Chains A and B, each alone.
Chain A
Amino acid sequence: DQQVKQNSPSLSVQEGRISILNCDYTNSMFDYFLWYKKYPAEGPTFLISISSIKDKNEDGRFTVFLNKSAKHLSLHIVPSQPGDSAVYFCAASVGGGADGLTFGKGTHLIIQP
């Protein structure tokens, strides 16, 4: 039972354009959402998060949007840069705390020059 779904295993975007990574969840109790970024042979690193009391959170080139009614969140990267090429994991938790953190399978973002 996959509670956090990233339905696109990979995404290719041209440098300078917007990258949009999508994530859907099934557990309506999730109230905190995070995105992690992972380079090959490295561990994931925290990128950005959003609480369910918000519908948008922005940090530089990265913006996360949350649509609670649709149980959907997305990560926007604009403009996309070559260094953004990585695997992006969506994660969600109930009531805070990483022991309940559920991860999606990840989306491999490829930024083309």
Chain B
Amino acid sequence: GAGVSQSPSNKVTEKGKDVELRCDPISGHTALYWYRQSLGQGLEFLIYFQGNSAPDKSGLPSDRFSAERTGGSVSTLTIQRTQQEDSAVYLCASSSDRGEEKLFFGSGTQLSVL
């Protein structure tokens, strides 16, 4: 596609439920990143993929968070047993290569945990 696509754009869930957030990066981009922006905060790095592998998972806040990427393209971020503090905008970004700092971001998924 022309840009990074994320779905859903909004997700409201109940505390304790699992959610899956999807990211479709720009075609041909090998690097994919997940960030989170909580209210009043900056962008918090979660995880980075190069191809299908995730060399850097250091930003995942807890073991309730996991992510995978298949076919070097689509990525899914899964949050299990959601908590209210998980409420945030989850942003996906891609770049043509790991060495490229100029990220192309999607519009994000606004997650609200009630």
Contact = CB atoms under 8 A, between A and B. Distances in A.
A2 B42 CA distance: 10
Interface string B15-43: 00000000000000001010100001111
Contacts of B108: 43
Nearest to A42: B107
Interface string A23-62: 0000000001010100001111110010000000000000
Contacts, number: 70
A98 B93 contact: yes
Contacts of B41: 105
Interface string A74-104: 0000000000000001010100111101111
Contacts of B105: 36, 43-45
Contacts of B104: 43, 45-46
A81 B45 CA distance: 31
A111 interface: no
Interface in B79-111: 91, 93, 95, 98-108
A83 to B, nearest CB: 18
A96 B101 contact: yes
Contacts of B99: 96-97
Contacts of B98: 97-99
Given A97-B98, A97-B101, A103 B106 contact: no
B42 A105 contact: yes
Interface of B: 4, 31, 33, 35, 40-45, 48, 55-56, 91, 93, 95, 98-108
Question: 9 tightest A-B contacts by CB?
Answer: A43-B105, A103-B43, A105-B42, A99-B48, A103-B42, A46-B102, A44-B105, A98-B101, A43-B106
26 contacts: A6-B42, A34-B101, A36-B105, A41-B107, A43-B91, A43-B105, A44-B91, A44-B103, A44-B105, A45-B104, A46-B102, A46-B103, A46-B104, A49-B101, A89-B42, A96-B99, A97-B98, A98-B31, A98-B33, A98-B48, A98-B95, A98-B100, A99-B98, A101-B45, A103-B42, A105-B41
